[in-house]
Structure 1
C-alpha cells in the first residue's frame, strides 16, 4: 500500500493503514430505504453532551416541523407567532424531528398487520401507535412515552410494509431511547438486564480470554436458572458457546491479508458474534473474497449497536458508532467498501446510523456498506463461478431470510445463488419472523412471545427436505436451532465449500 500515516501497525495486524486517495464510490448503491432522512438530518445527541453551535454562533433551538423554530421559541410562553405556529412540540429538547414523517401516515394499518409481535400479543398496540400516534399525541411535559414501546422487537418489518415511507423504526428507536433515559429506573432489574444484554461485546471479550472456563460455567446445571432469577434472562435457552480462538486472533495468527490488491479492497465488519462465537463464518468470508482477488482489511471495530437500539441504550450505541465510523471512513479512504456477514450489522451501518447520529463521515459509511453475498452478486460473476461446482455429497438446506435482510431487499439472495448448484437443495421456509429479534427472545417476559412468533418458521423447517438450517443472522440461527434442533450454517460457509478454495 502507499500513503501510510504514522499509525502504529507493527503490533496489531488487524489495523488498517490510512491512505491519501479515496476509493471510487461503487454503483449501484445499497438499496436501503431513505425513510426519515428526507425530512431533516436526524440526530441523537446524549442529554449530557455539549450543545452544538450553529455557524452563526447561536445554539441550536429545538426543531418542530422540519427545522422550523417552535412557535413559542422553545419556552413556555403562550404568545404565539402565527407565521411559525405549530400546535405540537414533539419530544422537545432534542434535535430529532419526524413530524413530517408522522403526517405521512394515513392509518392504513399495513404496519400493524405486518408486525409479528402484534400478531401473537393482543395487548401490544402495534407500530402505528408506537410511531406516528405517539408523535402526534405527545405534548411538551404533558405525555410520557407509553411503556409498551419496550415490547417492540425492532424487527423493522413495519418500515418495509408502509406504503408512504413513514420512518416507523426511526420513531421507535428514538421513543425507546427517550423512555429508557427518562422513565426507566436505572437500578431496576429490567434496566440492568437490558444493559448487560445490549453490551454483549464487553462480556464476550472477557469470556473469550478463558473460553473453556466460560463455556463450562454457562453449562453448569442451574446456571441459566440463576440468570433467570437474578436478571430476568430466560432459563429456557442454551447459552451459545464461545470459540476457543476468536476470528481476530485467527486473523493475526495468519498474518492478515494474503492478497494485496489496491484495486479491489473490502473492509470486513465481522460484528461481535462472528468474532467471539462463530469465527468459521468470518474465515469463510475471508477465503471467499480472497478467491475473487480481494484484499481484505479487518479494521478495529466495536458493536454495530443493533442490540443497543433494540433496548433504548442510545448513549451506548453512539459511543460504539463513533469508533466504527472513524475506522470505517479510514478504510473507505484506502479504497475499500464495507462488508458485513450479519444482516443486522449491515442494516445498522446503512440505515440506523445516519437516521440517529450526526457523526462526520456517517453517510459515507452508509453508502459504502454491503452484505457480503449481496456484494459478490453485484460485482462478481457468482453464477459463472458456481456453474461447474459440485459438492462431495448432496446437501439440503432449510433457508430462513432474517427480517433485517428483507428490509434490505436481500430475502431471496441465498436461494437464487445456490438453487442451480449441483449437490445443493435449498428451500425457502417462508416469510415469517424467527421471533428472537436479537436480545428480545432472551428476556424472561418475552420468551413465550418469541416462541409463538417462531412457530410458523419451525413448522416450515420441519416440513422442508433438508435438516440443516441456513440464515445470515446469528440470533435467527440461535432461534432456528433452539426450535428445531437443526444444525445451522451461514451462506458464506456453503459458498466456501462450493468454490474451489483450499481450506
Structure 2
C-alpha cells in the first residue's frame, strides 16, 4: 500500500515557524472570513459595539504583520468563553490569539495605576483573596455581604454591586481533606490526582467531598497535591505572567504523579479546560504536555473508565427535577451532553437541558460594573429556559455559571457530582 493509500501515513505540516517567540500571525492565514465565529459569539450577539472574534484574532494579527499596530482595546470585552474555537471550520486558534493579544494589551498599553487594571488584577487573583477571606469566613461573609461595602466596591473598584458575593465555607475542602487523613482507599491500578480549583476549596467544598467519595466508591486512590489557581481568571484578564507562575507550580506538583499511574481529574470544566488546552497553547513549561494529556473532567473520567451508566441505571434517588446548563468550557471539551445523558437513566430524576446559550457571566466578566448588563443580556435566554423547565433546581459543572443561574432565577444550583454521590455512594 502506498503512502497515499494509507491514511495513517502523513507528513506533518509546520503551521507556526520554529522561533522562540510564539507568533500566531501565520495561523491567521487559515481564516477565510466566513464569520462563523462572529455568529457564535455571545458578546457580539448583544453588544453591537464589539467587533467579534474574527477581528480580535485573525484580523488583528494580519494588521500586526503589515505594520506595528497596537492591540485594539476591545480585546478586553472578549469574555473568553472560547465558543469561537468550536465554531471555526478551519481550526484557527482563535482563543489562543485572543489570550495572547489580551496579555500584550495589558502588558504594553494598560495604565497600571488605573482602576480597571487594579480591579482586574484583584479579580484575576481570586485565590489570594479567598485564602485570606477563608481564615475568618463568618466575618468575611458579613463584610462582603454588606450593601455599603458592595456600593464602595462598585464606586472605587468597578466591581458590580448587583451581585451577592459568594460565601466562604466554614471549613475549606483542604481542611476537610487533612482532617480525614487523606486517601481512604489505596490502589496500585486506579489512581487519580484531584485538581479542586479555588471555588471547590473555599466556597463549595461539598463538591470536592462528593468527588472524593464517588471516586473512592469505585476503588480509586485519590490524592490532592498542593496547587494554585488553574489560571482561568488570569487568562480572561490578560494577566499572563500571573497565569504562567500558577501553571508552573501546578505542572511541577502534578507531573511527577503521572509516571506513578495517576491521572488528573477536575470538578470544574474551566479548570480542566485550562490544564488541557490553555497551558500547552500559551506556555513552554517542563511537563506541561504530560499534564495536558492526562487531565480529565471528573464525570468524563468515570464514563471512560467505569460502567457509570450501569451504576446510575441501578440506583434510585428521591424524586427531583433539574434544569441543566452546559458551560461553554464543557462544550469546548465535548462534554455538553454528558450530565443529561447520564441522569436520564437515574430513577427518580427528571433532567432537562435548558439550551445551548452562554450563561453570560464568563468567570470574572460578569462581575465588572461595565460588563454586568451585557452579561445579563447574554444570560437572558438561559434564564427564560430555566423558568420554563419542569425543575426548579439548576445543575451545572461551572461555579461561575452556577452563580449566574442562581442570580437570574433564584434557583438552588447543584453540581452533577453531588447528585452522583446521592445515587451511588
TM (norm. structure 1) is 0.81
Q: Is the 8 A contact 2:265 2:295 kept in 1?
A: yes
Instruction: Give, in angstroms, the shift of residue 189 of structure 1.
Output: 0.2
Matches within 5 A, 1:131-150: 131-139=57-65, 142-150=68-76
Larger Rg: 1
2:342 is aligned to 417
Matches within 5 A, 1:341-356: 341-356=267-282
2:416 is aligned to 491
Matched, 1:287 2:213: yes
2:7 is aligned to none
Runs of 4+ in 1 over 2 A off after TM superposition: 37-40, 139-142
Q: Is the 8 A contact 2:25 2:65 kept in 1?
A: no
2:4 is aligned to none
Instruction: Give, in angstroms, the shift of residue 413 of structure 1.
Output: 0.3
1:153 is aligned to 79
1:184 is aligned to 110
Structure 2 gaps, min length 5 = 1-11
**CA–CA separation in structure 1 for the residues paired with 2:313 and 2:46:** 43
**CA–CA separation in structure 1 for the residues paired with 2:52 and 2:410:** 31
Q: Is the 8 A contact 1:198 1:307 kept in 2?
A: yes
Which SS does the other structure have where 2:348 is aligned?
A: strand
1:477 is aligned to 402
Question: Which residue of 299, 304, 311 maps to 2:237?
Answer: 311
Q: Is the 8 A contact 1:343 1:472 kept in 2?
A: yes
Deviations 1:147-199 (A, max 9, x none): 00000000000000000100000000000000000000000000000000000
Which SS does the other structure have where 1:472 is aligned?
A: coil
TM (norm. structure 2) is 0.96
2:228 is aligned to 302
Q: Which has the higher contact order (CA 8 A, sep 6+)?
A: 1
2:304 is aligned to 378
Matched, 1:452 2:377: yes
Matched, 1:404 2:329: yes
Instruction: Give, in angstroms, the shift of residue 38 of structure 1.
Output: 7.2
Matches within 5 A, 1:317-396: 317-391=243-317, 393-396=318-321
Q: Is the 8 A contact 1:178 1:312 kept in 2?
A: yes
2:354 is aligned to 429
Q: Is the 8 A contact 1:39 1:98 kept in 2?
A: no
**CA–CA separation in structure 1 for the residues paired with 2:316 and 2:274:** 35
Which SS does the other structure have where 1:431 is aligned?
A: coil
**CA–CA separation in structure 2 for the residues paired with 1:476 and 1:177:** 24
Matched, 1:462 2:417: no
Instruction: Give, in angstroms, the shift of residue 39 of structure 1.
Output: 4.9
Deviations 1:44-101 (A, max 9, x none): xxxxxxxxxxxxxxxxxxxxx6237xxxxxxxxxxxxxxxxxxxxxxxxx71112331
Instruction: Give, in angstroms, the shift of residue 396 of structure 1.
Output: 0.1
1:67 is aligned to 18
RMSD of aligned residue pairs (Cα, Å): 1.2
1:104 is aligned to 30
Deviations 1:252-304 (A, max 9, x none): 00000000001100000000000000000000000000000000010000000
Q: Is the 8 A contact 1:398 1:467 kept in 2?
A: yes
Instruction: Give, in angstroms, the shift of residue 202 of structure 1.
Output: 0.3
**CA–CA separation in structure 2 for the residues paired with 1:426 and 1:217:** 37
**CA–CA separation in structure 2 for the residues paired with 1:147 and 1:437:** 19
**CA–CA separation in structure 2 for the residues paired with 1:220 and 1:264:** 46
Instruction: Give, in angstroms, the shift of residue 142 of structure 1.
Output: 2.8
Which SS does the other structure have where 1:249 is aligned?
A: helix
Question: Which residue of 104, 111, 119 maps to 1:193?
Answer: 119
Structure 1 gaps, min length 5 = 1-36, 41-64, 69-93
Which SS does the other structure have where 1:481 is aligned?
A: helix
Corresponding pairs, count:
414
Deviations 1:346-394 (A, max 9, x none): 0000000000000011000000000000000000001211222111x20
**CA–CA separation in structure 1 for the residues paired with 2:64 and 2:213:** 52
**CA–CA separation in structure 2 for the residues paired with 1:399 and 1:498:** 17
